[in-house]
Amino acid sequence: MNLTFDDETEEFRAEVRDFLASNRDKFPTLSYDTLEGFEQHRVWDKVLFDAGLSVIAWPKEYGGRDATMLQWVVYEEEYFKAGAPGRASANGTAMLAPTLFAHGTPEQMQRVLPKMASGEEIWAQAWSEPESGSDLASLRSTATKVDGGWKLNGQKIWSSRAPFGERGFGLFRSDPEAVRHKGLTYFMFDLKADGITVRPIAQLGGETGFGEIFLDDVFVPDEDVIGQVHNGWTAAMSTSSNERGMSLRSPARFVAPAERLVAQWKVDQNPAYAERVADAWIKAQAYRLHTFGTVTRLASGGELGAESSVTKVFWSDLDVALHQTALDLRGADAELYDHWTEGLLFALGGPIYAGTNEIQRNIIAERLLGLPRK
């Protein structure tokens, strides 16, 4: 693998680096899982959008700049190296948007994507239900056909951005006679529509960026169906692969904290933690190289498939290890380092959301290794 960047890519890197340095004062200072922080992040999304740096790999007609996937990785490296924040809009830009590019209509893309890229509309993911988490195919929320559209009923839970966002996307059972993943349809819907109630869910740190969504005869027009009716599972796999794989967790999200961890260890060079620090740093670099390999494959026409389950297990375990090691290294002073403490609280959810790591290991065993289900 050749990791030498051409002049155009290096010029782009310099552009991103200079922009972030000159706009550091506009970085959100609060979590997007609080109302005030959420609005800060919405403003930041607009700043990026106006600079042509919100969704660089998208086509220009939807707010992007037709950047290559290699430029996307370089952008992410500079973004997180600068200490810039995670994006409140990521549910839309990293999960729903790839699904629309693969299964949406031209009208849907023109209507949805520019507002998504600018932060005008921020999306909640509405996958899990009280009895259907990682086993998404067992969901019970329903969609009933009516004149001009559908009526949605049911309950979704652990919906990120739901308390503060404008719109949601998820699967609903449109054919009650079908079983499991058959008979599901993929919908977009308005979180402010009649019949929708959103209840915030408090997280470990007290933030309320997750919520429950209750749907009672919520009307959704036909134009908000993604892909084919009763075949939403196919479209949903595009979303879940991106959530589990590269798009949700770019390597820069781990390389930057790994570098900070090494710098922290160098202060007193406690030998008891040398191996753990080195292990975290090596794994962050390995993930970076893995991502370049993925970029190469996708640029050659490949797709994210079951391999995304391997990626998801790797980055979620690494995220926990990075933050736990940093806090252990600080000892009694650990709670004084808010960014590590808050990071650990968030990282602990990684092995659970986007499909639990236990489910991911089953997928790896069955689809990649060809092992029997029993």
- Catalytic residue positions, numbered: 243
The letter for the amino acid at 137 is: A
Answer yes or no: are the C-beta atoms of 188 and 167 closer than 8 Å.
yes
Bridge partners, residue 189, by sequence? 168
Residue 119 near residue 88 (C-beta atoms within 8 A): yes
* 167-173 and 196-201 beta bridge pairing: unpaired
CA dist 292 and 68 (Å) reads 12
Nearest residue to 124 (alpha-carbon basis) of 193, 46, 40, 23: 193
Asked if 137 and 180 count as a contact pair (C-beta separation under 8 A), the reply is yes
Neighbours of 240 (CB within 10 A): 20
Q: CA 149 to CA 219: how far, in whole Å?
A: 7
